[in-house]
Amino acid sequence: MTEELIRNYWNARARGYAIATVNDADPEDTRRWRGVLEDVLAPLEDKADVRILDVGCGPGLFSLLAAERLPNARVTALDGSPAMLEELKASAEARGLLERITLVEGDAGAIDEEGVYDLVMSRNVLWNLPDAEGALKGWWRALKTGGTLLTADGNHYRYLIDATHAAAVAAKPAPKSHDPKIFGNVDPAVMAERAKTLPLTHELRPDWDVRILEGVGASIASLSTSTTPAPDGSPVVTDFTLIAKKTA
């Protein structure tokens, strides 16, 4: 499956994804993410010339919240989908935040900057990348010493290869972004077929993320998980948020 087909998939999902996560998002969900980001944004509020990278920004929930919270920050919002960036541009203009956000069409798996950003953040991106380890290490290199990485992700397609996970997920309500009214005419089988070949479908997370980050010298500052019970009652991790500090 070509990258062009995947880009087309996310372009087709952009409008519905923006509705679900930004324009008509659950207020409680937005409050939760604002609280998560506060932990990494508050330490930057008195710092001059703050640089933030929102990698794989999608319609820009994190970019918008960061730009709103920190007038002293320059947010670079990078995504491979032009349609996602258009959604973010419209939202940023409507909120008077566009001058603080630089939109970049690019590959989240090919960040080649080094020591540039005070904060690198991502949400539901890494699972989608064919070289997830290389991407995560690239994000880490892009941080300044003393910088922070925030990644929010999950075991989104683990159900394809793990019967226990499949049973647990089947009992959990689907996220709003998967509502057929929002998903529209996009064929979910396109991404499911690709996910079978992606490396992180075959890894248990966040154990994998912790292992890779500790391997490059990261200090794990916090790690929270969301779980759902398997048929035997054991917890299955569906989503997680990890914050790591670059101390050297």
Residue pLDDT tens, the chain, 248 long: 457 777 888 999 999 999 999 988 889 999 999 999 999 999 999 999 999 999 999 999 999 999 999 999 999 999 999 999 999 999 999 999 999 999 999 999 999 999 999 999 999 999 999 999 999 999 999 999 999 999 999 999 999 999 999 999 888 887 777 787 788 788 888 889 889 999 999 999 999 999 999 999 999 999 999 999 999 999 999 999 999 999 98
Q: Are strands 50-55 and 117-123 parallel, antiparallel or unpaired?
A: parallel
Residue 172 has what pLDDT?
A: 81
**pTM assigned to the model:** 0.95
Is 57:63 a contact under the CB 8 Å cutoff?
A: yes
What does the pLDDT read at residue 41? 98
Task: Please say whether the beta carbons of 29 and 54 come within 8 A.
Answer: no
What pLDDT is attached to residue 2?
57
**Whole-angstrom Cα distance, residue 11 to residue 210?**
31
